[in-house]
Amino acid sequence: MVLDIAIVVVALSIIPSAYRMLIGPTRADRVSAADALLFVLVALVALVGMKKGSGFTFDLVLVASVMGFLGAVSLSRALMRGER
């Protein structure tokens, strides 16, 4: 029951992140929204994995989190380089 509610809440939080990613006024807004969207999707995968009892999803969550972090760092460095 609690996992079902958490899945619905996390799934609903995709909407504002996707909206900001598509409509964001600046590139920095779009990049930060894409990063937030990635981690919302990672949380959703983790919650579904908990519900299903699958151990593989946690490996997927770990890899996606590391890739998301590295992508966010590299994109922020690229954006900062363009503003100098």
Place of tokens 């990063």: 35
* Measured distance CA(64)–CA(70) in Å, rounded: 10
For residue 84, the model assigns a pLDDT of: 54
Exposed/middle/buried for residue 42 (C-beta within 10 Å: 0-12, 13-18, 19+)? buried
- Per the document, the length of the chain is 84
| φ and ψ at residue 13, rounded to 5 degrees | -75, -5
* Measured distance CA(70)–CA(57) in Å, rounded: 20
Q: Supply the range of the domain harboring residue 14.
A: 1-80
> How many folded domains does the chain comprise?
1
| pLDDT tens-digit readout, 36-60 | 999 999 999 999 999 999 889 999 9
pTM to 2 decimal places: 0.82
